[in-house]
Amino acid sequence: MILLSRPEIEALVDLDAGLLAVEQAYIAASQGRATIPPVGYIAFPEAEGDCHIKYGHIAGDPIFVVKIASGFYRNPSIGLSTSNGVMLALSATTGQLEAILLDEGFLTDLRTGLGGAIATRALCRPDARRVAMIGSGIQAGMQIRCLRRAMKDTPLTFTLWGRSQKRAAEIADILAREGIPVETTDDLESLCRSADIIITTTPSREPLIRGDWVGPGTHITAIGADAPGKQELEPSLVAHAGRRIADRLDQSLAHGEFSTAFAAGLIDRESCGELGDILSGTMAGRENPNDITIADLTGVAVQDIAIARTILDARRDRLDKTGAYLST
């Protein structure tokens, strides 16, 4: 059995391989080639935390994956990371445990960043340049890194807003040391009004982004509403969008960013689509340069399968080249 620590996992990451694997996983899910049971969810409201259990199998894959990921949003105040978790990879032939990935939530953060980048690239205008990043947690930095990689031939600019301006400045400083320039602002409304792309990454339980702040042609990738009660966008903004795309429509309508507008009767199921259908060409993406487009990403087990597989494949390839074992 393989046992990998977070440092070992981080050393095996290839963003390009991850982008391709997650994109293909979205397509498999929308084409019905994946088994994706309902998400397990535990809320810890007294601690401002939650835990997601996601698991599934993509047809033809040698492994299936069970992932446990937690997010406890007060943790930075006591010197702990917001995210934690583990992934288990089991044989789809024998059911034997093949690998334990002690990623401490890193792989969930990474595959979420990759998913956001894929959705943004698929739905933003070709001339989009100005990116507004909303949030000051781990995912804000991850989205910037992944989108920059996914759209490496496009000269994007990034401006970051967060409830904690101190934390936003810290993220900007970390990214600057990685060679990624990021501005910060304390004016959320002006930032949204000037953006071509808005990416929301907060655990908010009330709308942060008003409909009248978002101009024609803007694309929004909404990451934060991944559990019941979370919401970052006004329902009227969701209803006004010319294209509403979910990573998994059942999840989005039940507890994602689309759920509030859906429950209020402002949108219906038929007016939404899935990202995998956009990526496969089954469904058109942006049809009008003036449309507001929204991608609602609640997180799907196929992303976890894809990212776990890329790490295990990278480990195998490294062993083939060097013969040196990372861990056993």
Domains of the chain in sequence order: 2-108+302-322 (3.30.1780.10), 125-299 (3.40.50.720)
Number of Cβ atoms within 10 Å of the Cβ of 216: 10
Q: What pLDDT, on the 0 to 100 scale, is given for residue 77? A: 87
Q: How far apart are CA 107 and CA 105, in angstroms?
A: 6
Those residues whose C-beta lies under 8 Å from the C-beta of residue 200, and which sit 6 or more positions away, are 134, 135, 208, 209, 220, 221, 222, 223, 224, 232, 233
Stretches where the chain sits below pLDDT 70 are 322-328
CB 205 within 8 A of CB 184: no
Q: What pLDDT, on the 0 to 100 scale, is given for residue 328? A: 41
Q: How far apart are CA 14 and CA 296, in angstroms?
A: 25
Above pLDDT 90, what percent of the chain? Answer: 90
Q: Which tokens in the block code for residue 296?
A: 């609602």
CB 43 within 8 A of CB 227: yes
CB 289 within 8 A of CB 214: no
> Which residues lie across from 101 on neighbouring strands?
4, 87
Rounded to the nearest integer, the mean pLDDT of the chain is 95
Residue for token pair 């949108």 = 267
Above pLDDT 70, what percent of the chain? Answer: 98
For 63-72, write each residue's pLDDT tens digit: 999 999 999 9
CB 307 within 8 A of CB 63: no
- DSSP code for 39: P
pTM metric for this prediction: 0.93
Q: What pLDDT, on the 0 to 100 scale, is given for residue 324? A: 57
